[in-house]
């Protein structure tokens, strides 16, 4: 039987990481001439605060161990500047780096660089120290519930008007698909969604899937066709009121003109852009539960990144939700940088110069996932990876730690900001096990 250490090595060999000089967020592993293999001395990549950690680094080109190559490393806490650096020389393609420890819960990031034939290759690995003890910087405002109850009441007054048209290009032999345009929050404000359902008559659970971040079309509406094929009604939605039938060029032009919506109105909780977005998710639940083939019991929310955040927000806002699945949620402990550690995407305090104001921090608290997670009573399934620099493991753990509902986690240490198809399909299997 393969031991745990060898299992991790095998996974690294199959899912390999990135090479190329510029640093940017990778969404999916891809082919490369080089292979980094990093193996912590704890197979789960976890340590207790104060415990010493080390990692064996291996580096291959064309599958050949690179001997005598110098590997530079930097050590820093999750998403924070490096506090120590050094170099090791590979012997038979291997070297060991002493990572040291941390004196408080969190993650330590070992950032690696090697140069061969004037080409620079980079990699990193994060290990955790007592992350189950991480707690949010973000506090719950005293009037949090009252604020959102008022918004829910206002949004409910907007008539639920919609149009629906067939989208057979995204259907299968046993399913049908429709493009829905749904009014939400205020008259004249709309969102779109692709609704996929079984063709066979019957009563089915409904699953809402909010989108990841960005001003973009609904990506691959048929990618999760297996939900409908296995007996669920699923709606993949967008949040900006942009018809997904627009061309890619049109979306690119609008996105460039649109700017960063996550900053719009953030000085005032009443005018923040995400208010409409949160209310649109509730309106989508209104629509799904109005369908004659809804089973009258099961309402599930599921998404990743910003979509994972919106799934948790909706589960916290809407008592009709019966289960929630979230991958590496964004918008989580966004002000965490104020505590001297990683905060959640969109990393306001790293990307912008003017976010550290009382008004903006106050608004963040009303929209932060951790404060919705505190309200959730239904089962939650979360998954996240340690090497994620978009939605860092620090903030995923913080969300998971504040949940007091029934909860389960699939932790995949090697993952950056992506999930495998097998993990995605596993979400449906978890949902099916938690149907009422």
Q: Where in the sequence numbering do the catalytic residues fall? A: 305, 388, 417
DSSP secondary structure string, 408-420? Answer: EEEE-TT-SS---
Dig out the tokens for 194 from the structure.
């692709």
**Non-local CB neighbours of 282 within 8 Å, separated by 6+ positions:** 152, 155, 314, 317, 318
Cα–Cα distances in angstroms (integers) from residue 403 to residues 134, 308, 360, in the given order: 12, 14, 25
Find, among 410, 385, 185, 393, the residue nearest to 276 by Cα.
185
Contact between 433 and 405 under an 8 Å Cβ cutoff? The reply is no
Find, among 367, 332, 344, the residue nearest to 79 by Cα.
344
What gap in Å lies between CA 303 and CA 381, rounded to an integer? 11
Sequence-ordered strand ranges (E) for 245-377: 294-304, 323-327
The sheet carrying 70-77 orders its strands as 46-47, 119-129, 106-116, 70-77, 82-89
What gap in Å lies between CA 313 and CA 120, rounded to an integer? 41
**Non-local CB neighbours of 426 within 8 Å, separated by 6+ positions:** 410
What gap in Å lies between CA 137 and CA 135, rounded to an integer? 7
Cα–Cα distances in angstroms (integers) from residue 336 to residues 135, 220, 271, 296, 397, in the given order: 10, 33, 23, 39, 13
Among the residues of 205-265, which ranges form H helices? 226-229, 248-258
Cα–Cα distances in angstroms (integers) from residue 298 to residues 14, 52, 319, 334, 372, in the given order: 37, 47, 11, 31, 20
């Amino acid at each position: 039987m393969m031991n745990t250490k060898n299992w991790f090595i095998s996974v690294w060999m199959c899912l390999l990481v990135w090479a190329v000089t510029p640093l940017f967020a990778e969404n999916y592993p891809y082919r490369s001439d080089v292979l980094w293999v990093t193996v912590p001395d704890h197979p789960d990549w976890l340590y207790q605060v104060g415990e010493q950690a080390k990692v064996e680094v291996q580096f291959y080109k064309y599958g050949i161990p690179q001997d005598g190559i110098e590997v530079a490393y930097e050590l820093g806490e999750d998403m924070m500047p490096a506090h120590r650096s050094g170099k090791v020389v590979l012997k038979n393609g291997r070297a060991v780096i002493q990572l040291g420890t941390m004196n408080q819960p969190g993650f330590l990031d070992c950032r690696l660089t090697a140069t061969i034939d004037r080409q620079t290759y980079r990699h990193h690995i994060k290990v955790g120290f007592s992350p189950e003890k991480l707690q949010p910087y973000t506090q719950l405002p005293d009037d949090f519930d009252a604020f959102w109850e008022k918004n829910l009441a206002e949004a409910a007054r907007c008539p639920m008007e919609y149009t629906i048209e067939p989208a057979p290009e995204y259907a299968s032999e046993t399913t049908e698909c429709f493009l829905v345009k749904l009014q939400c929050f205020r008259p004249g404000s709309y969102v779109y969604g692709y609704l996929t359902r079984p063709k066979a008559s019957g009563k089915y659970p409904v699953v809402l899937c909010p989108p990841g971040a960005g001003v973009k079309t609904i990506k691959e509406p048929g990618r999760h066709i297996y939900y409908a094929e296995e007996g669920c009604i699923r709606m993949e939605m967008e949040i900006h009121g942009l018809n997904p039938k627009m061309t890619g060029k049109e979306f690119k032009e609008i996105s460039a003109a649109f700017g960063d919506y996550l900053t719009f109105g953030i000085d005032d909780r009443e005018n923040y852009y995400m208010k409409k977005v949160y209310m649109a998710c509730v309106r989508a639940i209104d629509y799904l539960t109005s369908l004659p083939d809804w089973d009258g019991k099961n309402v599930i929310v599921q998404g990743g990144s910003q979509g994972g955040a919106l799934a948790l927000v909706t589960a916290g806002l809407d008592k009709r939700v019966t289960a929630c699945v979230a991958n590496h949620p964004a918008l989580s402990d966004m002000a965490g940088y104020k505590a001297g550690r990683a905060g959640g995407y969109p990393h306001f305090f790293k990307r912008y110069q003017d976010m550290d104001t009382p008004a903006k921090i106050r608004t963040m608290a009303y929209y932060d996932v951790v404060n919705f997670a505190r309200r959730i009573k239904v089962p939650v399934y979360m998954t996240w990876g340690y090497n994620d620099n978009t939605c860092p493991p620090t903030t995923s753990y913080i969300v998971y730690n504040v949940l007091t509902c029934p909860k389960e986690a699939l932790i995949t240490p090697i993952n950056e900001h992506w999930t495998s198809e097998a993990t995605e399909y596993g979400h449906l299997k978890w949902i099916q096990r938690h149907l009422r």
